[in-house]
Amino acid sequence: MSESTESFSFEDLEELDGHELQEMFGNLERRVRSLEREKGDLREERSDLVSQVKILRGAVGQIEGANSERRVLLRKFHEIRKTADISRSRRDRVNVLIPPPVDVLQEWLSETHRRLTTIDNDLTAVPTLPRELDAFRRFFEIQASIVMKAESEAAHSEYVSSVKKMKELTSKLDEGKKDHKAVTSKASEDSGFDTDGISRKEVRKTSNRISKIDKNLDRIDRERKGLRKELGRVKAYRRITGGRNRKVRFSEIKDKAKSGGTLSTIELDALLGAGSLSELASPESESRADKSDSRQPGRKKRRLGVSRRGPRKGNLASKRED
């Protein structure tokens, strides 16, 4: 027998007749097939979810990469705007104090310098000392204003340069926004999710669904294993009983056989199918058989081979002795 009946207990099955046993066998088969179908459906669903989560992870990676580049651009944009604000403040502060541009100030400085270094032939036109001191004071003020104005114009140049960089970054951000929309749209088409559903949260949600399916598959495998074992037990009992409708009790059959009672054909078939004939010999009969075997004298074994006390003599040697 391929399946050893010693590992099975048939006490509960002995109470069932053939029809009840057949119904039990059919129910077990249906439950096994139902679990196998459920397992197939779950494995197919798991395969789909694994494909989806792979696509989602790739899309999230692309989106996060685009977002990372966008964050870098935004950080640079804010840094440059801060620098531009500082340059503009320096420029505006000087322009409030000194409105004229540098070239006008330089013309004023040249004119003042000319007046201070030129002596008019008309002595009546020579400036008085207070007026001359006022001209010197004006000359030095214009010089200081030119220095401050130069710093203001440098700040203005920095501001203009910063604004130019900000415009370039704005263009890149606009392009990145378009690329982000394209990546998100493609990922949405590939995965079947809405653009709002492409996120790490959705990846975790799908992964949790896969883990739940794995637990259900483990449960189905355990339940299926138990059902198949029970199905094998019923199948073994049916094979032993020959599929007859009459109830068969192995314990009663064994006791009947050991006591020397007469066995019917069904009972004998059951013992043969169960391989229980070797168990029928009682310990007392086995011990008596052993004792009878021990009392029988053993045969004397014939000794093969010849014992010689001396070397074998040939014909010539015997003749010489005679």
SS3 (DSSP) at 311: coil
**Res 214: pLDDT:** 95
Helices 129-191 & 102-117 angle (0-180, nearest 10): 170
Q: In this structure, what token pair is assigned to residue 246?
A: 């009459």
Region for 275 from its dihedrals, namely left if φ exceeds 0, alpha if ψ lies in -120 to 50, beta otherwise: left
Name, in order, each residue with C-beta under 8 angstroms of 86's C-beta and a sequence gap of 6 or more: none
**Res 298: pLDDT:** 47
Pick from 193, 185, 208: nearest CA to 56? 193
Name the amino acid, one letter, at 124: T
189 assigned to some structural domain: yes
Instruction: Classify residue 167 by its DSSP letter.
Output: H
Q: In this structure, what token pair is assigned to residue 273?
A: 């199918």
Split into its structural domains, the chain has a count of 1
**Mean pLDDT in order along the chain per 10 residues (322 residues):** 51 75 87 92 91 80 74 87 91 87 85 76 65 81 87 90 90 78 72 70 88 94 92 80 59 68 64 56 49 49 46 46 41
Are the C-beta atoms of residues 274 and 5 closer than 8 Å to each other? yes
φ, ψ of residue 298 to 5 degrees: the values are: -80, 150
CA dist 287 → 62, 255, 258 (Å): 85, 19, 15
174 assigned to some structural domain: yes
Are the C-beta atoms of residues 35 and 220 closer than 8 Å to each other? yes
Instruction: Classify residue 275 by its DSSP letter.
Output: T
Buried b (16+ CB within 10 A) or exposed e, 26-37: eebeeebeebee
**Res 160: pLDDT:** 92
Name the amino acid, one letter, at 53: V
304 assigned to some structural domain: no
CA dist 20 → 32, 58, 234, 273, 277 (Å): 18, 57, 11, 20, 27
Pick from 205, 109, 88: nearest CA to 153? 88
Query: Residues 118-125: contacts with CB within 8 Å, 24+ apart?
Result: none
Reduced to 3 DSSP states, what percent helix, strand and coil does the chain have, rounded to the nearest 5? 80, 0, 20
Name, in order, each residue with C-beta under 8 angstroms of 253's C-beta and a sequence gap of 6 or more: 263, 267, 270, 271
Q: In this structure, what token pair is assigned to residue 48?
A: 């789909």
Compute the half-sphere exposure of residue 107: CA atoms within 13 Å on the CB side of its CA: 5
289 assigned to some structural domain: no
Are the C-beta atoms of residues 55 and 190 closer than 8 Å to each other? yes
Domain residues for the domain of 168 are: 28-111+147-214
C-alpha span between 241 and 266 (Å, rounded):
7
**Res 41: pLDDT:** 93
C-alpha span between 282 and 198 (Å, rounded):
77
261 assigned to some structural domain: no
153 assigned to some structural domain: yes
C-alpha span between 73 and 250 (Å, rounded):
86
- pTM, 2 dp: 0.49
Pick from 173, 159, 171: nearest CA to 80? 159
